[in-house]
Chain A
Amino acid sequence: MASEDKQVKIHVTQRQLVVPGELLAEGEVEVGSPLIYKIDNKYYSSVIGLVDVQENKLNLIPLEGYYFPKVGDLVIGLVIDIGITNWIVDIRAPYKAIMNASDALNRQFNPIQDDLRRYFDIGDYVLAKIALFDRLHNPVLTVKEKGLGKIVSGKIVEIAPSRVPRVIGKRKSMLNMLIEETGCEIVVAQNGRIWINCKDKQFEDILILALKKIELEAHTTGLTDRVRNLIKEEKAKRGLS
């Protein structure tokens, strides 16, 4: 595990649970997470999470925390306010997002003629991408890509944003399994809101149960198989399958 030239000492094992201030490694290692910080050749964890150790590479998967916006992220926002030329959208981040009318309407926009409420009203969910975001400005959303826009059917399930990678799984294994087993349409947004569209209520209930199980047990191993079993059991219970 250690390279000989610069005495590398890794103090943690794969998938170990760590807390802030825990010493992870000493020496020169590759770090794949901004949540690991370094003081004089010593690497510490800054949040509660699970470490991923691979050769000389350390990664930290946080177990708690807010969603932090990143340009290009797919998010599901909730319209909470309407301005003269824009909407204010809650994306469960520390900052409120802005969606500009000219972007959403895809044409020249005249505030005197157009009533923004006709397009997105307060309480509407919108599937969008983050177009712009930096330290000085609030995130700006865009709906100009295929598949983005107002959500008019299905349901929204909220989970902790830190559990999103688990719902998707390695190479989408978990997500594909969920789609396969329930036959629902699922879109997982990075901010922890999941859009589901099922053909009937029974499958919808099962899927929500499965998602809540993933959220609760995100830090355990072998989760995909357990969730698959849960879905199968629930299906049998309801006489589906």
Chain B
Amino acid sequence: MTKKNKPKLIREDGLRHDGRRPDELRPIRMEVGVLSNANGSALVEYGRTKVIAAVYGPRELHPRHISLPDRAVIRCRYHMAPFSTEERKNPAPSRREIELSKVIREALEATIFTELYPRATIDVFIEVLQADGGTRTTGITAASLALADAGIPMRDLVAGVAVGKVDGVLVLDIDQVEDEYGEADMPIAMMPSLGKITLLQLNGVLTPEEFREALKLAEKGIREIYKLQREALKKKYVEIKVEE
């Protein structure tokens, strides 16, 4: 499939179409505890991509027969708001959203001590408010913050970022344009303290060398995001300073 009017993704000076270096993240903003009804919540922005996550539970699971006797069931819904894209998105869950809900659930399940809450459920809602590429990884980052905010015991925070190949160059944290016209897109999520990968998808073609290179690039980006995650979590408490 060839695309018409492909923009120049790597400029003459080696920078990307938005002026970032190939290994540079978009500006990231994180906020924890943005919803009061949820047990835990977070809002995360990667550039123009904006995602809100809410966590409920552990709580009783209905209908009962889907509960598990030895651990909690994690239910995850990834959803894009109708206004998140340039053209209105049908709010009904699409095939893509159902699949992403599943892979995100699996990326988060690895970190949660589900065995502590048998017969219960933990519900994770991820709502994309504005989409500009990398929504699943932004969603994972937000959901893991929301889980921590809900006080659910977990092995580590999960942070995600996408690496792509555009005009033959490996770039970190690709946006919508780079995803659309690039040659490859590889979203990755990790538990950085433990050095474990919980999500890895690849759309497009990379050589084995490029793959290794991309993985390294992603890890670098994830560590940066991880640092921001920890700061965002602590900020909620540090802000409540008291006059001595």
Are the chains A and B members of one assembly? yes
**Pair B153/A35 contact, Cβ less than 8 Å:** yes
**Pair A63/B237 contact, Cβ less than 8 Å:** yes
**Pair B234/A220 contact, Cβ less than 8 Å:** no
**Pair A46/B154 contact, Cβ less than 8 Å:** yes
Give the total of A residues in contact with B, Cβ under 8 Å.
30
Task: Report the bound CA distance from A96 to B242 in whole Å.
Answer: 37
* B155 contacts A by Cβ under 8 Å: yes
* B244 contacts A by Cβ under 8 Å: yes
**Pair A64/B40 contact, Cβ less than 8 Å:** yes
Q: How far is the CB of B141 from chain A (nearest CB, A)?
A: 14
**Pair B238/A17 contact, Cβ less than 8 Å:** yes
**A21-B194, A94-B57, A95-B60 are contacts. A219–B152 as well, Cβ < 8 Å?**
no
Task: Report the bound CA distance from A133 to B238 in whole Å.
Answer: 37
Residues from chain B with Cβ under 8 Å of A84 in the complex: none
**Pair A17/B237 contact, Cβ less than 8 Å:** yes
* B156 contacts A by Cβ under 8 Å: yes
* A20 contacts B by Cβ under 8 Å: yes
Q: How far is the CB of A63 from chain B (nearest CB, A)?
A: 7
* B191 contacts A by Cβ under 8 Å: yes
Task: Report the bound CA distance from A150 to B234 in whole Å.
Answer: 40
**Pair B151/A64 contact, Cβ less than 8 Å:** yes
Residues from chain A with Cβ under 8 Å of B57 in the complex: 66, 94
* A185 contacts B by Cβ under 8 Å: no
Task: Report the bound CA distance from A21 to B147 in whole Å.
Answer: 13
Task: Report the bound CA distance from A17 to B235 in whole Å.
Answer: 10
**A23-B193, A64-B150, A94-B58 are contacts. A37–B120 as well, Cβ < 8 Å?**
no
* B interface residues, Cβ below 8 angstroms from A: 39-40, 57-60, 69-70, 111, 113, 117-120, 148-157, 191-194, 229-230, 233-234, 237-238, 240, 242, 244
Q: List 29 A-B contacts (CB under 8 A).
A: A19-B157, A19-B230, A19-B233, A20-B111, A20-B154, A20-B155, A21-B191, A21-B192, A37-B155, A44-B193, A46-B113, A48-B148, A48-B151, A48-B233, A48-B237, A62-B151, A63-B151, A64-B148, A64-B151, A65-B152, A94-B59, A94-B120, A135-B70, A135-B118, A216-B240, A217-B240, A219-B237, A219-B240, A220-B242
